[in-house]
């Protein structure tokens, strides 16, 4: 039971503004994610008493998620202490991702309404799509990426668009058109960025939406969700999008690689990096390699003619699973996997809860599941957790959605809206 008093007007405006700004600023500013992260940290300190009281109630449900991110930080500390080439700055991502739990604490303390998040996602995807479209067709940039690289931009804007689909549950009647527009903008932004690998997330999203189709109640919501996914497919046949060219190019790259032809292509480079990673993993399967040893052994593979020399030009292996295995072995893979699998199980439990329909847990739980699966899909062809911004977007959104789910498990305080 929640014994805290309802937040005052200033607190209400603050938390709703902050939740809105997180997705809205993620793609169109270089400071948005970091600023929101810092603001949530300060808010958790200011509202620590009601946050602690709420956390005590929900700790059994969220403890596995917190432990998963704590283990990731612990592994990073061990690497810093006992591995060569690991620098103090390598601690930034796991530390800030665990600290993102302050978002959950703030949400538990102030109990905001979910509409702020959905409107932030809608505005953020539309703004991101306009920004990337201007770069692509206004400035003539072939692979635009906003203020980040094209792959990360395309992945995040697509992820935000898919989360908009989950938000339809909280929009009655024809108002569901708004999150539908957000979903379409996310898909459009992904196409404009020229990203291909991230489209695997659409397959996962389709499976999830079919499995939980009852969540999108009403023909309008289901129709908009299907329309958004259908337009993504139809984009393949529209020459101006360049989607078909990118797909055809990818097929040609695969054929060239397998036939022993040119390998220095977008797909060929990935295949060669993956082949290099597999050879390193076979030699050090349990604990992996430190950065110094990894570079030394990769150079040895090149000198022996077992891989192409250009693999030395790239900072990572374009696959999150292989990246975790190379630098952490089986232990590293398990720890990395826990930051995806454990939250995924949390959201599945929320979706399958008998009271999910009555207490309104469907929308944030579905969004959380789509977030986790999207990041897993992105990591199949890219190290999506490579940049700090991408890591922080995942962690902040994850704990925000967890907090919103947990708030549905306790009744609102007297005088507070549900």
List the chain pLDDT tens, one digit each, 418 residues. 444 556 688 889 999 999 999 999 999 999 999 999 999 999 999 999 999 999 999 999 999 999 999 999 999 999 999 888 888 888 999 999 999 999 999 999 999 999 999 999 999 999 999 999 999 989 988 889 888 999 999 999 999 999 998 898 888 878 888 998 998 899 889 888 878 778 888 889 888 888 887 666 666 566 666 666 666 666 655 555 555 566 656 667 666 767 666 677 777 888 899 999 999 999 999 989 999 999 999 999 999 989 889 999 999 999 999 999 999 999 999 999 999 999 999 999 999 886 766 667 889 999 999 999 999 999 999 999 999 999 999 999 999 999 999 998 876 654 455 4
Terminal CA-CA length for the chain: 14
pLDDT of residue 172: 82
Helix segments in 241-380, DSSP class H = 243-258, 266-283, 291-303, 320-352, 356-359, 362-378
| Residue partners of 315: CB distance under 8 A and separation at least 6 | 386
Distances (CA, A) of 338 to 66, 300, 376: 10, 32, 12
148: left (phi over 0), alpha (psi -120 to 50) or beta: beta
Helix segments in 168-242, DSSP class H = 177-193, 200-211, 219-234
Asked if residues 2 and 418 have their Cβ atoms less than 8 Å apart, the reply is: no
pLDDT of residue 337: 97
Q: What is the DSSP letter of 265?
A: S
| Long-range CB contacts for residues 7-14, cutoff 8 Å, separation at least 24 | 7/109, 7/110, 7/111, 7/416, 11/47, 11/110, 12/110, 12/112, 14/43
Taking the C-alpha atoms of residue 286 and residue 278, their distance in angstroms, rounded to an integer, is: 13
Taking the C-alpha atoms of residue 172 and residue 294, their distance in angstroms, rounded to an integer, is: 54
Taking the C-alpha atoms of residue 204 and residue 376, their distance in angstroms, rounded to an integer, is: 10
Taking the C-alpha atoms of residue 377 and residue 398, their distance in angstroms, rounded to an integer, is: 16
Say what angle helices 101-110 and 48-82 make with each other, to 10 degrees: 180
Provide the b/e sequence for 167-176 (b: ≥16 CB within 10 Å): bbbbbeeeeb
pLDDT of residue 265: 79
Q: Is 237 exposed, middle or buried (0-12, 13-18, 19+ CB in 10 A)?
A: exposed
pLDDT of residue 117: 97
Count of CB atoms situated within 10 Å of the CB of 302 = 16
- Give the residue from 346, 391, 401 showing the smallest Cα distance to 19: 401
């Amino acid at each position: 039971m929640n014994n805290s008093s309802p937040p005052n007007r200033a607190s209400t405006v603050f938390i709703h503004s902050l939740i809105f700004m997180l997705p809205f600023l993620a793609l169109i500013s270089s400071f948005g994610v970091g600023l929101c992260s810092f603001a949530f940290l300060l808010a958790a300190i200011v509202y620590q008493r009601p946050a602690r009281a709420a956390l005590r109630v929900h700790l059994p449900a969220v403890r596995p998620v917190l432990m998963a991110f704590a283990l990731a930080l612990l592994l990073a500390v061990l690497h810093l202490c006992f591995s060569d080439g690991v620098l103090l700055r390598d601690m930034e991502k796991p530390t800030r991702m665990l600290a993102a739990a302050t978002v959950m604490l703030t949400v538990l303390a102030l109990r905001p309404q979910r509409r702020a998040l959905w409107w932030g996602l809608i505005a953020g995807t539309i703004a991101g799509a306009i920004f990337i479209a201007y770069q692509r067709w206004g400035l003539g940039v072939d692979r635009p990426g906003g203020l980040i690289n094209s792959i990360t931009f395309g992945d995040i804007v697509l992820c935000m668009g898919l989360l908009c689909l989950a938000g339809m549950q909280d929009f009655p009647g024809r108002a569901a058109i708004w999150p539908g527009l957000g979903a379409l903008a996310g898909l459009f932004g992904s196409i404009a960025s020229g990203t291909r690998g991230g489209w695997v997330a659409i397959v996962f999203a389709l499976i999830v939406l079919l499995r939980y189709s009852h969540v999108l109640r009403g023909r309008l919501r289901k129709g908009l969700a299907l329309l958004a996914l259908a337009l993504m497919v139809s984009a393949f046949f529209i020459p101006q999008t360049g989607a078909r060219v990118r797909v055809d190019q990818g097929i040609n790259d695969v054929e060239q690689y397998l036939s022993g032809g040119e390998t220095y292509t977008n797909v060929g480079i990935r295949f060669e990096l993956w082949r290099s990673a597999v050879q390193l993993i076979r030699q050090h399967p349990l604990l992996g390699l430190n950065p110094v040893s990894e570079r030394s052994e990769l150079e040895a593979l090149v000198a022996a003619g077992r891989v192409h020399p250009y693999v030395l030009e790239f900072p990572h292996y374009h696959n999150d699973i292989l990246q975790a295995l190379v630098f952490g072995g089986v232990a590293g893979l398990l720890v990395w996997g826990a930051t995806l699998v454990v939250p995924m199980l949390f959201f599945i439990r929320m979706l399958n809860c008998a009271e999910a329909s009555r207490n309104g847990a469907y929308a944030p739980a579905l969004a959380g599941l789509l977030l986790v699966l999207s990041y897993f899909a992105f990591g199949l062809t890219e190290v999506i957790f490579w940049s700090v911004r991408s890591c922080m977007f995942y962690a902040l959104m994850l704990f925000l959605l967890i907090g919103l789910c947990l708030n549905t498990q306790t009744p609102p305080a007297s005088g507070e809206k549900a």
